[in-house]
Amino acid sequence: MTATDSPLFQPLKMGALNLPNRVVMAPLTRNRAGPDNVPQALNVEYYRQRASAGLIISEATQICPEGVGYPSTPGIHSKAQVAGWKTVTDAVHAAGGRIVLQLWHVGRISHPSLQPDGQLPVAPSAIKPAGKALTYDGPQDFVTPRALEAHEIPGIIEQYRRAAENAKRAGFDGVEVHNANGYLLDQFLRDGSNHRSDEWGGSLENRMRLPTAVLEAVISVWGADRVGIRLSPSGTFNDMHDSDPDATFGTFIDRLSGYGLAYLHLMDPSDSDLRHGGSPLPAKHFRSRFSGALMVNAEYDGHKADAALRNGEADLVSFGRLFIANPDLPERLAQDAPLNTPDVDTFYGGDARGYTDYPALSAA
């Protein structure tokens, strides 16, 4: 594979975003924000190093204090966080890159010790997920969340809208709505976690109501052509399941198709999903149901990504762990050069080690 012949290195105009290549940096939580969950100089350097990506999708970023689920993840709800993110976007732009913010509310995947006033996490329904929350005191059992009252839901939509405004103030090029991996919007969409009987649950139409309302609120700020959305139709992470994922996600994607979004970001089933009873529906299964740019993810290397584009299965590919370890991933893929190996022990939290010290090819 060389830069001249792989479709990975063809530019792509998707919505209002003009990408010089189709090698996208996937959203990656790294738990290295500063005090008060404010992005700091270390984060600036990490993103700056990766500016050759066709597009950077930021790590998941909480839209409000209640949206947090892990230690040291950044927010986009305070003035200081907006200012911190501005230093990141300025550095990425100065290095010639583009970056969108992933908007996040974890819902039930939190813990009272992370919440304002030690309150219970909120969710569509009071269903405790199996597993453990990651807290400042180490892993602790998830708790039974508090089901949101119907009258509170417009407030959540408004928090997304404000976060989208803050992302604009912080200089991002757009936003990605995190509707994947068992967090709040995914909890509303799937019937394993949404047992509500009001207009926000029950029928698929009702379960789609919050995700679409959030999307429309975010579009009201950015225009659809700078908004993407991420879905994990087969995902079992965070104890997720759905009785009919093909219908749930197929119908939701049909709906999304009408908005003129910048892109749809779909995750393939992982080995872990398949072991845990997730549906074996690959991203390409939904290809024909979405009219815009399709970004696919999970366990791609350069050759597999090249083949997916050549076969028309996707328009672009996001890379997670390979971008952690290879700040200059596009150049390495273009040259078919050796790749650095990601160090799992430094994925979540810590300092510059395993974060900004992976060498670029030119330095190796």
List active site positions: 183
Contact flags string 46-85 toward ligand FNR, x per CB under 6 A: -------------xx-------------------------
Close Cβ partners of 289 (under 8 Å, ≥ 6 residues apart): 250, 253, 254, 257
DSSP 362: G
Q: Which CB, 221 or 283, lies closer to ligand FNR?
A: 283
Contact flags string 337-356 toward ligand FNR, x per CB under 6 A: ----------x---------
- According to the binding rule CB under 6 A, does residue 124 interact with ligand FNR? no
Nearest in space to 25 (alpha carbons), one of 326, 272, 357:
326
- According to the binding rule CB under 6 A, does residue 234 interact with ligand FNR? no
Nearest-CB residue for ligand FNR:
320
Q: Which CB, 16 or 339, lies closer to ligand FNR?
A: 339
List for the chain the helix, strand, coil content (%; round to 5).
Answer: 40, 15, 45
Residue in 17, 23, 25, 26 binding ligand FNR, rule: CB under 6 A: 26
- According to the binding rule CB under 6 A, does residue 102 interact with ligand FNR? yes
Beta strand pairing call for 55-62 and 99-104 = parallel
Residue type, 63: I
Q: Which CB, 28 or 33, lies closer to ligand FNR?
A: 28
Q: How far is the CB of 149 from ligand FNR (least distance, A)?
A: 28
Nearest in space to 188 (alpha carbons), one of 174, 176, 202, 177:
202
Q: How far is the CB of 90 from ligand FNR (least distance, A)?
A: 22
DSSP E strands in the chain: the ranges are 12-14, 17-19, 23-25, 55-62, 99-104, 122-123, 132-135, 138-141, 146-147, 174-178, 227-231, 263-267, 293-297, 316-319
Q: How far is the CB of 108 from ligand FNR (least distance, A)?
A: 17
Residues within the interface to ligand FNR (CB under 6 A)? 26-29, 59-60, 102, 178, 180-181, 230, 267, 297-300, 319-322, 347
